[in-house]
Amino acid sequence: MLGISRCSLTALIATLAAATAHAQPSAADWIALAELPDFSGVWVPDVADQRRKERNETPPWTPAAKA
């Protein structure tokens, strides 16, 4: 009998947790979402520029890092 009540309690807790996880967004949530930057574009890296920087702009290594 004890196993059934533990199972029922676990199911009740899971149901309550799921109910709070799917709450409707508030007006403040939509306002915060509208303030985010537009990430809908496509990022295309300039690979030629990256390779040029790798060749010409070496990082300032410390002597310990060079070893």
Domain that includes residue 28, residue range: 6-65
Per residue in 20-62, pLDDT (tens digit) is 667 899 999 999 999 998 888 888 889 999 999 999 998 888 8
Question: How many domains, the chain?
Answer: 1
38 within some domain:
yes
Task: Please determine, for residue 2, whether its predicted confidence score (pLDDT) is greater than 60.
Answer: no
Tell me the C-alpha distance between 50 and 38, whole Å. Answer: 25
1 within some domain:
no
Tokens encoding 50: 């990256």
52 within some domain:
yes
Q: Please report which helix (H) or strand (E) contains residue 29, including its range.
A: helix 27-34
39 within some domain:
yes
- Whether the model clears a pTM of 0.85, i.e. scores above it, the answer is no
Residue 11 Rama label (left phi>0; alpha psi -120 to 50; beta):
alpha
Tell me the C-alpha distance between 63 and 57, whole Å. Answer: 17
Phi and psi, residue 9, nearest 5°: -65, -40
